[in-house]
Structure 1
Amino acid sequence: MRTVKRVHPAFRDDIGDLVTRRPVPGPAIGHVGAFLFLNHHGPQTYPANNRGLPFGPHPHRGFETVTFILAGELAHTDSAGHASIIRAGGIQWMTAGSGIVHAEVSPAEFKRDGGPMEILQLWVNLPSRLKMTAPRYVGAQAGAIPSVAVDGATVHLVAGMFGEARGVVDSLTGVFLSWVEIAAGGSVTFSGLEGRDVFLYAVRGVFHVEGTAVAHFHLAELTPGDAVTIAADAPALFLFGHAAPIDEPIVAHGPFVMNSEAEIRQAFADYQAGRFGVAEIVEA
């Protein structure tokens, strides 16, 4: 069984009026294998007539973004022609691959009326053989995401298999991703983790791994092993994923994650030359 090696706090790094916490990268941990970056926006309540989220058109290359909309709603558009508005309980999975421009903003209705908002965005690395793959996008509402109930926990299955259930996204690299709601006294065990990089982040409440408590806004770095059991004495919510190691250099600069400085320079050149295309902001 895996145990907790170290607990890493998420540090505040607000973006204007958007409450933002980031557990990784942090002072003591640069990444968790293929899991490169997590921004936890909110929880907070926006007033009526607000400006909404600030993520207008911007480029990416070489990795994937997975966005969990826990509260509120998020409008996505990109230069590959995808557009959707995903509401609470849904996800957006975007493969930037060879290069894409996307915008993530609040719909006009949310800016007019306001309301609660909490969003997680996770960056997942791609191996060199897939960094220049064609961009793709999956937007799934809550009702399309399988939910598996087990021992007082509900596993919302985004990618990978849990029991007989299959996630809504077929990952290019076999990544498993879920978020889990756990009731008081509940527990859940994930197995098949030998040799995998495991990502475990406490969003709400407190959970326990083999007797070690992990509170909300903390990332749990785990020891090696084939399985992990996560339990809670009171209601909690956490993000759980695992992926095969990518034994390659990671060279990240701004919105690009590649394997060399030369590839980063080429990404900037391609973007500046307009080769990523254009994303229009959707307001309705």
Structure 2
Amino acid sequence: MKIIKKTHKAEYRPIDDLVTYSPMPTRSLSMIDPFLFLNHHGFQTYPSPNQGLPFGPHPHRGMETVTFILEGDIMHSDSTGKNSVIGPGGVQYMTAGKGLIHAEVSSPEFKRKGGDLEILQLWLNLPASKKMIAPNYIGLQKEDIPAFELDKGKVRVQQLFGEWNGVKGAFEGNFPIQMSTIYLDKGGKFEKSIPASENVFFYIVRGELKVNGEGLHMRHLIEFANSGEKIEVEALEESILILGHALPFNEPVVAQGPFVMNTQQQIYEAYQDYQAGGFA
């Protein structure tokens, strides 16, 4: 069994009128290599009309984002010409690579009608050898994401990266990674074996779980020691979990604003390139 090293409660960090919690980075946890950053927006209900999400055009370099839309929607547009509106249950995967500018806002319909909103964005690092690859974006609706059931249907898994239970993930990552969104009914159980050499990203979005015998609550990120392989999960109430794992890069990380590189010089170059109009 994997040992739970520490649990990290997400800190409340509102952005304008957007309810936001973040368990990483904090004073107690800088990152879980190669998982860099998580913002958990909502749950909240927007009135009609509203201004929607506040993330207008901004740049990125050297990292990737995985965005989970549980309620509401996101309208994505970027400087490579990609556009989409992704609704509940959908997921966006964006590779910033050498640089792009994108906007993440609510659709005109959501801003007009309002409604429930809960969206999470996870930042993934890119290895040094791929920091400057071409940018890319894929947005998939719920029905386009491979899924399977465990425990007689009490556990439903969206497979995003890698392969589990014979189901290949929706996205092809830029490094070996496994990631799933897991929906559990009360009493639902599953087990997963993860090599001791890999780092685990385990965030409880909603509900309450018993993990390797320990009761754990929503809006907590669970940090595991690099020992043992098995994780046993039981839902004490209806729950949602994001579970990922990958080998650490063990490379220097220099993050400043929207850029994640390996040296301060590379950060300086990123700002220079952006200001000179060099992003896609």
Q: TM-score when scaled to structure 1?
A: 0.96
In the TM superposition, what are the counterparts of 1:157-236 in structure 2 within 5 Å?
Answer: 157-224=159-226, 225-236=228-239
Question: What letter matches 1:14 in structure 2?
Answer: P
Distance 2:196 2:138 in 1: 29
Question: What letter matches 2:260 in structure 1?
Answer: V
2:279 is aligned with 1:276: yes
Moved over 3 A (4+): none
Question: What letter matches 1:252 in structure 2?
Answer: A
The Cα of 1:233 is off from its aligned counterpart by 2.1
Q: Corresponding residue for 1:135?
A: 135
Distance 1:237 1:210 in 2: 17
The Cα of 1:81 is off from its aligned counterpart by 1.1
Query: Could you tell me the percent identity over the aligned residues?
Result: 47
Question: CA deviation digits over 1:21-58, x for unaligned, max 9?
Answer: 00000111100110000000000000001001000000
The Cα of 1:192 is off from its aligned counterpart by 3.5
Question: What letter matches 1:161 in structure 2?
Answer: E
In the alignment, structure 1 segments of 5+ residues that lack a partner are 278-284
Question: CA deviation digits over 1:101-152, x for unaligned, max 9?
Answer: 0000001000000000000000000000000000011110000111111012
2:273 is aligned with 1:263: no
Distance 2:279 2:61 in 1: 9
- Alignment RMSD (CA, Å): 0.9
In the TM superposition, what are the counterparts of 1:33-48 in structure 2 within 5 Å?
Answer: 33-48=33-48
Question: What letter matches 1:54 in structure 2?
Answer: P
Q: Corresponding residue for 2:83?
A: 83
SS in 2 for 1:30: coil
Distance 1:189 1:103 in 2: 38
Distance 1:138 1:243 in 2: 21
Distance 1:160 1:190 in 2: 14
Distance 2:195 2:45 in 1: 37
2:96 is aligned with 1:93: no
In the alignment, structure 2 segments of 5+ residues that lack a partner are none
Verify the 8 A CA contact 1:3 1:209 in the aligned structure 2: no
Q: Corresponding residue for 1:281?
A: none
Question: CA deviation digits over 1:195-249, x for unaligned, max 9?
Answer: 1110001110111111111100111111222221111122111111011110100
Verify the 8 A CA contact 1:194 1:227 in the aligned structure 2: no
Distance 1:114 1:158 in 2: 28
In the TM superposition, what are the counterparts of 1:100-119 in structure 2 within 5 Å?
Answer: 100-119=100-119
Question: CA deviation digits over 1:166-215, x for unaligned, max 9?
Answer: 11101110111111111111111222333111000111011111111110
Distance 1:76 1:20 in 2: 19
Q: Which moved more, 1:235-244 or 1:112-121?
A: 235-244
Distance 1:45 1:211 in 2: 34
SS in 2 for 1:271: helix
Distance 1:200 1:165 in 2: 20
Q: Corresponding residue for 1:155?
A: 157
Verify the 8 A CA contact 1:193 1:242 in the aligned structure 2: no
Q: TM-score when scaled to structure 2?
A: 0.97
